[in-house]
Chain A
């Protein structure tokens, strides 16, 4: 019997399909050691597949169960799980898909995976209470160049060169008119509304504004960046929309932060 570390390394090699030397240490009892190890290998593959199907429903719907299983197996070989918490598994799936579909005409697939991942991330993001009327009143007294906005932790922007939101909705409800797969620049706002994840297509300037706020720019700087994308951008309206959606959880004054 090898030491525990060596035995576990040999077992892991069998799970990865690299080496069956661990079979020599398995009691057969009528079934070869390799066959007993294969039970675990298949169980691990099934768990990983289930996890990816749950996390990437749009990709699963687009490519079908059989090809998705192929992708999941390839992904498992190239990106070993790094956590005992399966919620962390699959974080590299979109990047992996980039390499898999580069020449296949399925260029929208990685971005659909990114949207799926952001939905899952938003669902689990930390809770935070939206600002109240008093807080808004105090913020209104601060110059935009000094005003910092804290967004809800579930707020994300998904940018794509494809109509990923329409594709996602079609996968959820196949009776809708199928979207085109031709390039079409799209920005999707992702957030948690109550307990459910919500998605909305937004203008490029609005996406720029929200991203800048999220990066820590003050309101004036974020608005200036948005105006470079669209000279008609109205930062007050964009800020109002964030408040209406209860996506602002705090205001800070740059001057008092120093």
Chain B
């Protein structure tokens, strides 16, 4: 760590944070709002200089930080992009985040990247492949990686297991943590016709490091219901209900409000985080009562 750069210490609190996006950075710097923690997309900070780093360095002094990657594409049959991994390691060393996360997905083959969180087949082969990759990344970073379930618009024939079993087994084999995106569970439950509670029941609580909440869009004009994970609107009531069930099952966990399109005023995000905080506080009261 650079001399004189005293970062906020400690883990991400089991409170509701906000995804830090460019339109809000100036206000966060000027006002230091009462947000328990921030998460940023790792790749947005892969360049080594410029205004974004200057701002994040200041913000990091006062807030716990989580780095959330979207580009490592660990489930790809291609070899791990060593350059990408090296930049991630440098970023982790620079900001000392409390959590480092990525996605259960693939995104590149034969050297071509599709820059999307593409769905894996839930097969034994894919599981072995991903678990090996996650283990290698953890070795390179020297710390736990946290893997997120993604929203998806298709599943593959011939799967060996449901999505939640794949995620749980990935955590068991690789020792990674899990980031449970509650919106993605709901989106997938509608798109693929499963009970979202079954997903929650399939995830061991001790593996859950973080939860995500976001808004989805209902696609119209199709013969079947289909939800798209757009991150451009408030969290849906159905997702809030599922989140309450998730908090009940997993206990209070750091929870993030993600909003990436049509980004509203910071107050809107803080209000969404405030609602998540109410549910988290209810769980903490249950825990306190149990300990009393």
Contacts and interface: CB of A to CB of B under 8 A. Distances in A.
B205 to A, nearest CB: 29
Contacts of B157: 1, 25-27
Contact of B192 (A29, A47, A194): A29
Contacts of A128: 49
B129 A192 contact: no
A153 B115 contact: no
A74 interface: no
Given A29-B193, A48-B115, A84 B48 contact: no
Nearest to B106: A8
Given A12-B109, A29-B193, A40 B121 contact: no
Contacts of A253: none
B222 interface: yes
A225 B91 CA distance: 41
A31 B154 CA distance: 9
Contacts of A33: 154
A124 B71 contact: no
B34 interface: no
A26 to B, nearest CB: 5
Given A1-B121, A27-B155, A83-B84, A40 B116 contact: yes
A23 B111 CA distance: 22
B21 interface: no
A84 B43 CA distance: 8
Interface string B102-113: 000011111111
Interface in A28-49: 29-31, 33, 35-37, 39-40, 43-44, 47-48
Contacts of B111: 80, 82
Interface in B39-85: 43-44, 46-54, 70-73, 76-77, 81, 84
Given A26-B157, A31-B222, A195 B112 contact: no
Interface string A79-106: 0111111110100000000000000000
A86 B71 contact: yes
Nearest to B228: A39
Contact of A84 (B51, B110, B113): B113
A136 interface: no
A15 to B, nearest CB: 6
B118 interface: yes
Interface residues of A, number: 48
A4 B125 contact: yes
Given A84-B84, A125-B49, A153-B49, A37 B154 contact: yes
Given A12-B110, A86-B115, A5 B77 contact: yes
Contacts of A137: none
Contacts of A27: 154-157, 192
A258 interface: no
Interface of A: 1, 3-5, 7-9, 11-12, 15, 25-27, 29-31, 33, 35-37, 39-40, 43-44, 47-48, 51, 80-87, 89, 123-128, 153-154, 192, 194-196
14 contacts: A4-B120, A4-B129, A7-B156, A29-B224, A30-B224, A84-B81, A84-B108, A85-B71, A89-B115, A124-B49, A192-B49, A194-B51, A195-B50, A195-B54
